[in-house]
Structure 1
Amino acid sequence: MKRKAWLLAGALAWTGFAQAEVLEVTGEFPANHREASFLESVSVDRFGGSDGAALQIAIERALGGSQFELLGGRAGRDTAEGSISGSVNTGVDESSFTRKEKQCVSKDAKGKCLKEEQVEIRCKRRIIDIKADIRIVRNTDGRILYSQPKPFRDEVEWCRGDNPSRTTEDVIEGAIRDIAGSLRGDLVPHVDTYKIRVREGTKGLSKETANRFKELVKLTKRDAQGACRGWEAMQAEAPGYPSLLFNLGLCAEQRGEYEKAVALYQDAIRAGANEGREGAERASRLIAGREDAQERAKRRRG
């Protein structure tokens, strides 16, 4: 959830200022559930409940192409390092009710409404509840590495002459697919490319320094590395300046120097650049993503 929050904030900052200067960064972020993500092979065991078979297949498809080796059948269950199991139950409730609406009850010869009245119309309400629980067990020691509920609820109303936009079957099929996708999001590290707006404030700088700072901000559109070199050269004349510290942190993040980025973002926070909080959190997650990738490679070699 935090990851979504700061990526969304960066996206909003960019789209909200179409002409704003940004730096584009690509980095690998860790899975939300670290230990489970280190499993090399998994089997998707039988799921209980009314839609268990559908969720089992959806999970197999969702985890395809990930870091996991998917094993099936009895041999897969016996040899996989981890097992995914659980249950899913679906409830559908439809009920009728009436609603009052204004309707024209009298028109003139030209079709213009002369009189409106409150009339009762018959309507229906459909509620679909899906309760899924998924857990992952490491087979070598029986340790539960992942155990999460995955609830889903869809409520829709329609009245006489209308129909719901999606059938019950379509809603359930989409929900099962989304539940499986959320499991992939929990277990699979991901590479993101995102744009973060540079900090442009120059309040408190001398006129000459402020002008050069602004020119470097503009330079990010055509030469991000050149802008970063320019900001680095300004450190002696504007020590502790929040916009400079934040932008240098963003430059370090873009280069993959995540520890340096964290330190610069933290300095920017202390200097008054609140944007540094999101930057420090993001760079810390990038550090974790790099360490996790190294750990997975080490375990494979071992």
Structure 2
Amino acid sequence: MISRVQRLFAGLAGLLAAGCANTAALNVEYAPRVPGAERLFSIAVLDFDGRGGVAFADTVESELVTAHFRGAPAITVVDPSLAGPGFARGRFRDRHGSPEGLAEVGAVLGVDGIVSGTVLDERVSDSPYTRERERCIERDGDGDCLEYRLVVIECWSVRASFQARAVLVETASAAVLFNDILSGSSSMHYCEDERLPYTASQLVDQAMIDAARPVRRLFLPHEEIVHAPFAHAAEGLSEADAARFSAAYELTGHDRMGEACTAFAELAREGVESAELFYNLGLCAELRGTLEPALAHYERAIALSAERFGDAERARERVLIQMSERARLDG
């Protein structure tokens, strides 16, 4: 017999599956958030000045090395020690800290850009607080508790924070493309009767990772998966065309996008017109990565809709942004 709990979980699973069904998983590409960084195809990370600067340089480098775009590394990361032993990790000093000096190092390394900077703050702070817990104060011969008592125990909230100023210089022009503060934090809570979750050093490491994480989007091209819903019904169609539209829509929920898009295209070729049909054709074009046809379909869908067509308007805006981003990436 299926229990109420099992039926509840089965229902929830069905709702979650329905929420993800009949959508197009669109791979949306973005240029680096920092203007000019799209011109950089290779980069080196020098030590940051200040306490924790060597470790933070390693953390930033790791973020860049592990980033991918269009199925390949997003950028080539070069070991700074190739410029000489004085630039190896842990040995670099800020004598080349000016934009011109960093550009000179970049020229020696043969990279398009150089990252360096200064650690501004690294600290760990804690705040005490108390909790009440039940503890057994008397047990019987079998070990079962006979009496509990509320006791107050000491606890601590520990927070690590990290802050650094990062500078990105373009080698060819010695232009400073980025000069801003990266901040990160990490926290933990524990009580006197618990094991310490992390050491203070590990907490600082996590704060560094948090601070370095934005460099992927700031300095590198990146991708984001956006789930956009297909329109499930079309207005003004004949009974036969409505049935074909509905059948094509059902295919989108079974990962048969190619068949669905072919069916939608056949309806359009036969002269069927509806806002929902052209919207779905726009999604099909986006899935293929053809932005100009997608834009035309969305604009047609908006024009044919008697009411505001929110999904089509959002899709149109998404495609316009992608076209602008692609122009930066491929320009």
TM range (shorter): 0.7 to 0.9
Select the residue among 56, 72, 75 that pairs with 1:67: 75
1:7 matched residue in structure 2: none
Q: Secondary structure at the match of 1:165?
A: coil
1:87 matched residue in structure 2: 118
Contact 2:37–2:220 (8 Å) recurs in 1: no
Q: Which moved more, 1:53-62 or 1:277-286?
A: 277-286
1:239 matched residue in structure 2: 273
1:199, distance to aligned residue in structure 2 (A): 1.8
Select the residue among 147, 161, 167 that pairs with 1:129: 161
2:105 corresponds to 1:76: yes
1: CA distance between counterparts of 2:116 and 2:314? Answer: 36
Question: Structure 1 254/96 Cα, relative in aligned 2: closer, same or farther at 3 Å?
Answer: closer
After superposition, give the CA deviation of every residue in 1:178-235 in whole Å (9 maximum; x if it has no partner): 4334312322223556654422124554432221111111334465334323323434
Select the residue among 191, 212, 215 that pairs with 1:183: 215
1: CA distance between counterparts of 2:131 and 2:225? Answer: 49
Q: Residue type of the partner of 2:52?
A: D
- What's the Cα RMSD here? 3.3
2: CA distance between counterparts of 1:16 and 1:228? Answer: 22
Question: Structure 1 244/92 Cα, relative in aligned 2: closer, same or farther at 3 Å?
Answer: same
1: CA distance between counterparts of 2:151 and 2:117? Answer: 49
1:264 matched residue in structure 2: 297
Number of aligned residues = 281
After superposition, give the CA deviation of every residue in 1:4-38 in whole Å (9 maximum; x if it has no partner): xxxxxxxxxx9541783344544643222241231
Contact 1:246–1:273 (8 Å) recurs in 2: no
1:138, distance to aligned residue in structure 2 (A): 2.8
1:117, distance to aligned residue in structure 2 (A): 4.7
After superposition, give the CA deviation of every residue in 1:128-171 in whole Å (9 maximum; x if it has no partner): 11112222123444432123432222232211210232222223
2: CA distance between counterparts of 1:193 and 1:127? Answer: 32
2: CA distance between counterparts of 1:279 and 1:166? Answer: 45
Matches within 5 A, 1:194-273: 196-202=228-234, 204-220=236-252, 221=254, 223-235=256-268, 238-241=272-275, 243-269=276-302, 271=305, 272-273=308-309
2:93 matched residue in structure 1: none
Select the residue among 292, 300, 311 that pairs with 1:275: 311
1: CA distance between counterparts of 2:325 and 2:20? Answer: 32
1:119 matched residue in structure 2: 151
2:44 matched residue in structure 1: 43
Question: Structure 1 58/208 Cα, relative in aligned 2: closer, same or farther at 3 Å?
Answer: same
Q: Secondary structure at the match of 2:164?
A: strand
1:52, distance to aligned residue in structure 2 (A): 0.8
Q: Which moved more, 1:17-26 or 1:175-184?
A: 17-26
Question: Structure 1 71/155 Cα, relative in aligned 2: closer, same or farther at 3 Å?
Answer: closer
Q: Residue type of the partner of 2:62?
A: R
Contact 1:45–1:77 (8 Å) recurs in 2: no
TM-score by length of 1: 0.76
1:11 matched residue in structure 2: none
2: CA distance between counterparts of 1:266 and 1:164? Answer: 58
1:286, distance to aligned residue in structure 2 (A): 3.1
- Which consecutive unaligned segments of at least 5 residues does structure 1 have? 1-13, 296-302
Q: Residue type of the partner of 2:186?
A: D
1:8 matched residue in structure 2: none
2:203 corresponds to 1:174: no
1: CA distance between counterparts of 2:210 and 2:185? Answer: 12
